A and B are shown apart, each in its own frame.
Chain A
């Protein structure tokens, strides 16, 4: 804009400056003032790990998943509440009466970043490729028998059986749409720098340092994305990330430590946001260790955990006690189920009813360098001492810790979960089904009644009935205390107040097409 009338310009600038200063002073810690999105600019996001791979069908790491989602989009996607599924690359779908056929109408005018329009052939190719990955996410698409494409705008999925979580599964990032035949490249070549319909496209990568995406000029949402490019760097040390944010070197800081939240909320120029999440933290209880196979012992342990104390001292108040192994942001979460909350008298009573009334020794596996786990563990040590359980720490580096939990070589340990789809099925199967791939969240828990409820809910098309089934399931699981449900905590993101429109969904991902710099 050319300043043809200098005085007027100066006056405007002055007012604007005053306005900005006032807004910044008031704005730190408050929600973004809704302004008009401005086009242009680049942001840098510093995160805790580097991305491993951009093959969305075979990667399990969040730091890779959240990036591929900027490039590859799905037919339906989870909405901002994490529960409802909204049309995205498809505009509508119909389901046959027997629930085994789903017909999707594709959105018109969607193009890949190479300019080619998206058709049903691309969709069929993408999902066939995804479900063929036996080492990867293929298992989630196991209910699909085959896919047909009657015309370029229609895709039909034929299922092997009724499958209630189907729409949510279609929304899984692994089912993102890629060009037919990998746009002429080999599969390996393609996934080194994938092409998609998303708001951003591949720009460049320096391994171990940064990944940069730039605007997709063919993006189907007109006017978006606002940003020219986004760069993700990788800074392990949380203090360094914070200092980089305060120094203006980065615009978004992933996961500042809990104890910094309060300070960052009062730092001018910085917005500290706590987004509702699907993250749940658990105490893993391995039933291979005899005392832990006793349901009264497990109930005693759950009753002896002082969740509020943990939340206060370790999370600095930023969390809520968990009452179920499902988090509140997941469909069919049962808020009524009380779970087993802190009650030492009841805990002692349960121990008395168990086969180990005098208590026993147990080891707690803790990740090395994980301050939160270590602090939690030490608080737990003191709590369990009150009911006669003598806890010894066993620290291992996170890789070994992970392995040992996976191989069931532990007694007590810590785990957490964040949802990948907007349906409880994935987590329920993982958590309570001994045949669900993880041996019931690595605990060995096996209650046939609970497993039966899960199987029924999987094929139940009526949401009201499903809700009842999952409610019963959650109550039973809580009573069996197969995991210690610890707490629900929000996603913590700190970013410059110049960044607007940044929103992290309960599934953990973020839609960068809505972000603009002001």
Chain B
């Protein structure tokens, strides 16, 4: 089967998954207790006022009816209107999407930049002190929650060591983004680096063991070059795989990081919408997230296949 055919088939498979996602998120968020009308009315919420508001929003219809209306609008490209802001949910999401993409992308790049050299170092000094240090230290990123890491990084690099980085925010212009997003991207990277390091290291070790045996028997080719070439390719394949598989987790992890660094991305939008029971926005964000995740899986598989000729499309 060709690459093109494979991609098309996978994209078609996206449809039932997306459908499943819409059902899941719709019913889940509506089953969550808490009424956005009451939340918005605050202390002034009387039964009458709440009822009026719910009716204005169409929330007093039975759930399946609401779902059908939602799907109907969706097919016209309308993701609903935010209950909190009274603007289109789709517009809100598209506005904030680039910010989160920046965060994830930059974070992934930093994660690779940290993980690849460290795991190579660990793998070449297997079971000796450097190996143990490399495997232990990144766990800081795993054990400390992002809000702790974030504030410590901000305190240290944003204030105490001279104002090297702006405290939170997104910045403007490409260099502005790089500057403002460095610390948050670093926090993301530290969160995922331990997983990357573990799997890269294991992969490299496998390569080393195999290559050592083969090259011991071959002549003419310098052992080192073969080692590095194979190891590197394996490393890239592994990295892509692991990053891809963990993308769901990565994307979710940005939720809290965006809160801490006051980054106006969709993670922050998501958290606030869940807390406010802004159903249309939660639905819109989840849908976009899910599509993104599935596309990333697809991209990962394709990249994997292109890099590793042993993989077949079936």
Contact = CB atoms under 8 A, between A and B. Distances in A.
Interface of A: 46, 50, 52-53, 60-61, 134-137, 206-209, 233-237, 239-240, 243-244, 246-249, 397-400, 402-404, 406-407, 417, 430, 437-438
Contacts of B163: 247-248
B275 A61 contact: no
B222 to A, nearest CB: 53
Given A207-B92, A237-B262, A406-B38, 19 more contacts: A52-B40, A135-B52, A135-B56, A206-B95, A208-B264, A236-B272, A237-B151, A237-B259, A239-B151, A240-B151, A240-B167, A240-B260, A243-B154, A243-B155, A244-B168, A244-B169, A247-B158, A403-B39, A437-B46
A403 B262 contact: no
Given A135-B52, A430-B43, A438-B43, A399 B262 contact: no
A207 B268 CA distance: 12
Contacts of B272: 50, 208, 236
B226 interface: no
26 contacts: A50-B272, A134-B52, A136-B44, A137-B44, A208-B95, A208-B264, A208-B269, A234-B262, A236-B262, A237-B262, A239-B151, A240-B167, A240-B168, A243-B158, A244-B167, A247-B158, A247-B167, A249-B166, A249-B169, A397-B34, A399-B275, A400-B32, A402-B34, A403-B35, A406-B45, A438-B46
B106 interface: no
Interface in B41-93: 41-46, 49-50, 52-53, 56, 84-87, 92
A206 B264 CA distance: 10
B159 interface: yes
Contacts of A50: 272
Interface of B: 32-36, 38-46, 49-50, 52-53, 56, 84-87, 92, 95-96, 147, 150-151, 154-155, 158-159, 163, 166-169, 259-262, 264, 268-269, 272, 275-277
A234 B168 CA distance: 11
Contact of A52 (B46, B85, B151): B85
In the A-B complex, the 10 residue pairs with the closest CB atoms: A60-B42, A235-B262, A400-B34, A399-B34, A437-B46, A243-B167, A209-B264, A247-B167, A244-B167, A239-B151
B24 to A, nearest CB: 20
Most chain B CB atoms below 10 A, which of A240, A244, A404? A240
B262 A135 contact: no
A136 B41 CA distance: 8
Given A52-B85, A240-B261, A61 B42 contact: yes
A209 to B, nearest CB: 4
Nearest to B84: A52
Given A208-B92, A240-B260, A243-B151, A402 B38 contact: yes
B40 A247 contact: no
Contacts of A402: 34, 38-39, 42
B86 A240 contact: no
Nearest to B53: A135
A53 B41 CA distance: 12
A60 B43 contact: yes
B259 A403 contact: no
Contacts of A206: 95, 264
Contacts of B268: 208, 236
A399 B277 contact: yes
Contact of B33 (A134, A246, A403, A430): A403
B39 to A, nearest CB: 5
Contacts of A438: 43, 46
A236 B268 CA distance: 10
B86 A53 contact: yes
A400 B34 CA distance: 4
Given A53-B86, A135-B53, A399-B34, A247 B151 contact: no
Nearest to B277: A399
Most chain A CB atoms below 10 A, which of B40, B50, B85, B168? B168
Contacts of A46: 262
A397 B166 contact: no
Most chain A CB atoms below 10 A, which of B56, B86, B150? B86
B33 A400 contact: yes
B154 A240 contact: yes
A114 B180 CA distance: 38
B17 to A, nearest CB: 28
Contacts of B87: 207
A60 B96 contact: no
A407 B43 CA distance: 12
B33 A60 contact: no
A86 B308 CA distance: 78
Contacts of B53: 135
Contacts of A246: 159
Given A235-B262, A240-B151, A249-B166, A437 B275 contact: no
Contacts of A437: 44, 46
B262 A240 contact: yes
A61 to B, nearest CB: 7
Contacts of A243: 151, 154-155, 158-159, 167-168
A399 B276 contact: yes
Nearest to B273: A208
A30 to B, nearest CB: 24
Contacts of B155: 243
Nearest to A436: B46
Contacts of A398: 275
Contact of A236 (B33, B86, B158, B259): B259
Contact of A237 (B34, B38, B42, B147): B147
